[in-house]
Structure 1
Amino acid sequence: MKRLSLPRRENRRQVVYDLLLWVLLSVFVAAMGPDPVVDPAAFGVVTAPRIALAAVAVLVGRRWPLAALTLLLPLGPWRFTDGFATVDLTWLLPRRDVKIFPLLATSPYIMWYAYLTGRRMVRMWPAAAAFCLIAVVGVGVVLAKGGDLALWVSMVTGLVGTYLVPYLLGLLRRRLLQQRRQARLSAEAQARLRERARIARDMHDSLGHDLALIAVRAAGLELAPGLDPARAKAAGELRVAAADATERLRQIIGLLRDDSDASPLAPVDEDVAELVRRAEDSGMSISLEVAPGPPPALARAVVQEGLTNAAKHAPGAAVRVSVAPHRVAVRNEPARSRPTARPGGLGLAGLRERVRLAGGTLTAGPADGGFELAVEIPRTGEEHPRGSGRHRQSDARSSGA
């Protein structure tokens, strides 16, 4: 059989607070009852049980505020002699002094536990059941006092002000805190998604390009004249391993990116000349023509994507890079060895989005037996005749990394 354990306080401060709360509540309860000096017997019969009841309510109220609210029911606003306001209802009743919202010394404590009930309780039906019980007690008190219409007014306003309004304020506070928590969790989730997209972008821009250059070096070594068959085979295996690593990288990027993530738009900092020089150092044959004009970041992104595709899908092929004021193009000749990369990457998708935001046009497809990636940027105020982001039908090599 499961034992019912009393609620424990988390620290000494909570013990002190609850003890002070019980002492103050006991003082007000004693002030409402008989004088212990004049009539000690009545004080022991009426006030002492109420003080004990208040002690139990404070003991359980921190964890179960609805239980404390129910225990304090005998201390509720059942005296209609004092109220928040006195109104004249002679137009409706023969009485002039009708009390609105009866107030007792214990009313603030009852209101506090009603507020905590709405603030902490998730399920609403226990509170609804308790309020029905409180309403029944109020009806009984009014009927016991004669059922005057003025008593009904006092009782209804007392129940609304002492129980219902604080409960609704606590419920509103809980809903607001829940919304704030949901907003914070949503912001944290968006931050995680942005970080995942940033990691995917960095991996694509840096590691993908470097792996493609490794494959180019291996392809150049494989085709080197005079190399013995064993070393040529090892170079070919290295080229295939680099391509497999690129494919695994593409799969990892797919896991890091979410369908709602924006496409990678910003490459790492490096100009076109430095990018081409690194590719040439890896063994690629590249001719470069550069003229100032397009945004440096966009030109670099186009050239990097074109060189990466050429290294993966046309290893050993000569590449021509052209950067003009309103056009950036990367064209490669036919491949000199069998490509090992697989289609389906995200490189062209991200580049197409970047070009679209810049107001340009991207085309990618076969050209003179090879492959060409070109981006055209209209002059300021000029609308491109073919529309932004148009993409020609291309073979499997246009998929990118």
Structure 2
Amino acid sequence: MVYDLLLWVVLGVFIAAMGPDPVKDPAAFALVTVPRIVLGGLAVLVGRPYPLLALVLVLPLGPWRFTDGFATVDLSRLAPQRNVKIVPLLATSPFIVWYAYLTGRRLARVWPALLVFCLIGVVGVAVVLAQGGDLGLWVSMVTGVIGTYLVPYLFGLLRRRLLQQRLQARRSAEEQARLRERARIARDMHDSLGHDLALIAVRAAGLEMAPGLAPEQVGAAGELRIAAADATERLRQIIGLLREDADAAPLVPVNENLAELVRRAAASGMEVTLDLAPGPVPELAHAVVQEGLTNAAKHAPGALVEVVVAPERISVRNGPPRSRSTVRSGGMGLAGLRERVRLAGGVLSAGPVGDGFELTVTLPP
């Protein structure tokens, strides 16, 4: 409100400077200048929310006097006029330029501005015809409309489009960040919870086949194994909702070495062996072995699992299962692992081998 009040005061001073002297001719001042000041006040009042309406209100204060201008040209070769003003300037021109800029900056629709510009053109033509309609007046009027109204409006429109693009880019970056976070959560759930649930199912299967248990205890162990399998399936569905196909999986393994991973799997009841060849351990070894052990625990309960890790080859092979699997296939673990191997320049193969299943990853030297 304070800014608008100050703007109205400054606009009133400029309008008063354009009109009759209030001391020498107070009647003309009251008849001409005071209504213009009131009109300027109305324009300032509505200019912030409705700049196009303010532009219409200050239309009588537009560049319709052709005595001063931004530049002067000589049109004596085309017409008798010599000092023709280009882009006529008045004391109120900066305010009109500001509201034209705000119109382009804030008005989302274009057709209301086109209607107002048509009205401005009609007023300009009427002013030129009323003053004689010679070539110099036409040049002054056209350049005044372009410089005072059209160019600021286009600058405002350009500014609005740039801000919209910046906003869209920021929203797109935020959306990509959310998708990456969702994919990270899905990978963490798959790498940690999925593996742990599979090992719980293995422990339950081993307990179910242990000798010396009462029928009630065997039934409870079987129910525990089925419940763990169901929880694994629900986790797979949740991961499917969180994962985004366009998001590339990270190449950073979880903070656990291969020996600890295999030891934890063996402690859960899996029969697993580890053959670690001399040389550097591949960066993807942890992810490959964990995926292979998880799949073996889910789809081949009680099977013997052989893990072989070499600098250029990783293999996880399991034999035939000793009990029926209660987990459906079709998870995203192998799909995500395949993408990680592809990004590392390697090749992944997975399929039945004999009476078991083998997951093999070959890496470049």
Displacement of 1:262: 2.3
Write the deviation string for residues 356-392 of structure 1: whole angstroms up to 9, x where unpaired: 222222221222311111122242xxxxxxxxxxxxx
State yes or no: 1:140 paired with 2:122: no
In 1, Cα distance between equivalents of 2:284 and 2:5: 69
In 2, Cα distance between equivalents of 1:293 and 1:357: 22
Write the deviation string for residues 243-272 of structure 1: whole angstroms up to 9, x where unpaired: 110000000000001232224654312111
What secondary structure is seen at the aligned counterpart in 1 of 2:359?
strand
State yes or no: 1:196 paired with 2:182: yes
State yes or no: 1:260 paired with 2:233: no
Per the alignment, residue 342 of structure 1 pairs with 328
Match of 2:135 among 134, 149, 152: 149
Question: Which AA in structure 2 matches 1:313?
Answer: H
- CA contact under 8 A between 1:286 and 1:320: conserved in structure 2? yes
- CA contact under 8 A between 1:294 and 1:377: conserved in structure 2? no
Per the alignment, residue 36 of structure 1 pairs with 22
Match of 2:4 among 5, 15, 18: 18
Displacement of 1:295: 4.3
Per the alignment, residue 360 of structure 1 pairs with 346
Per the alignment, residue 111 of structure 2 pairs with 125
Question: Residues 156-305 of structure 1 correspond to what in structure 2 (within 5 A)?
Answer: 156-263=142-249, 265-293=251-279, 295-305=281-291
Per the alignment, residue 388 of structure 1 pairs with none
- CA contact under 8 A between 1:72 and 1:110: conserved in structure 2? yes
Gaps of 5+ in 2: none
Write the deviation string for residues 48-104 of structure 1: whole angstroms up to 9, x where unpaired: 111111111100111100111100011111111111111111111212111111000
Question: Which AA in structure 2 matches 1:115?
Answer: Y
Is 295-304 or 66-75 further displaced after alignment?
295-304
In 2, Cα distance between equivalents of 1:56 and 1:339: 80
In 2, Cα distance between equivalents of 1:82 and 1:183: 45
Is 283-292 or 50-59 further displaced after alignment?
283-292
In 2, Cα distance between equivalents of 1:207 and 1:334: 25
Is 188-197 or 85-94 further displaced after alignment?
85-94
Per the alignment, residue 351 of structure 1 pairs with 337
Write the deviation string for residues 204-251 of structure 1: whole angstroms up to 9, x where unpaired: 101000000000100110010111111011001100110110000000
Per the alignment, residue 85 of structure 2 pairs with 99
- CA contact under 8 A between 2:281 and 2:309: conserved in structure 1? no
Per the alignment, residue 296 of structure 2 pairs with 310
Per the alignment, residue 11 of structure 1 pairs with none
* C-alpha distance 266-340 of structure 1, shift in aligned 2 (>3 A): farther
- CA contact under 8 A between 1:216 and 1:239: conserved in structure 2? yes
In 2, Cα distance between equivalents of 1:115 and 1:356: 53
Is 350-359 or 101-110 further displaced after alignment?
350-359
What secondary structure is seen at the aligned counterpart in 2 of 1:287?
strand
Per the alignment, residue 116 of structure 1 pairs with 102
Question: Which AA in structure 2 matches 1:248?
Answer: R
In 1, Cα distance between equivalents of 2:249 and 2:286: 16
- CA contact under 8 A between 1:202 and 1:267: conserved in structure 2? no
Question: Which AA in structure 2 matches 1:23?
Answer: V
What secondary structure is seen at the aligned counterpart in 2 of 1:373?
strand
Match of 1:48 among 26, 30, 34: 34
Gaps of 5+ in 1: 1-14, 380-401
Displacement of 1:294: 5.6
In 2, Cα distance between equivalents of 1:295 and 1:93: 89
Write the deviation string for residues 115-170 of structure 1: whole angstroms up to 9, x where unpaired: 00000000111111111111111101110101111000011111111100110110
What secondary structure is seen at the aligned counterpart in 2 of 1:297?
coil
- CA contact under 8 A between 1:265 and 1:350: conserved in structure 2? no
In 2, Cα distance between equivalents of 1:202 and 1:352: 17
Question: Which AA in structure 1 matches 2:35?
Answer: P
- CA contact under 8 A between 1:114 and 1:166: conserved in structure 2? yes
- CA contact under 8 A between 2:282 and 2:311: conserved in structure 1? no
TM score, norm. by length of structure 2? 0.98
In 1, Cα distance between equivalents of 2:327 and 2:356: 16
**How many residue pairs align between the two structures?**
365
TM score, norm. by length of structure 1? 0.89
Displacement of 1:299: 1.1
Question: Which AA in structure 1 matches 2:57?
Answer: L
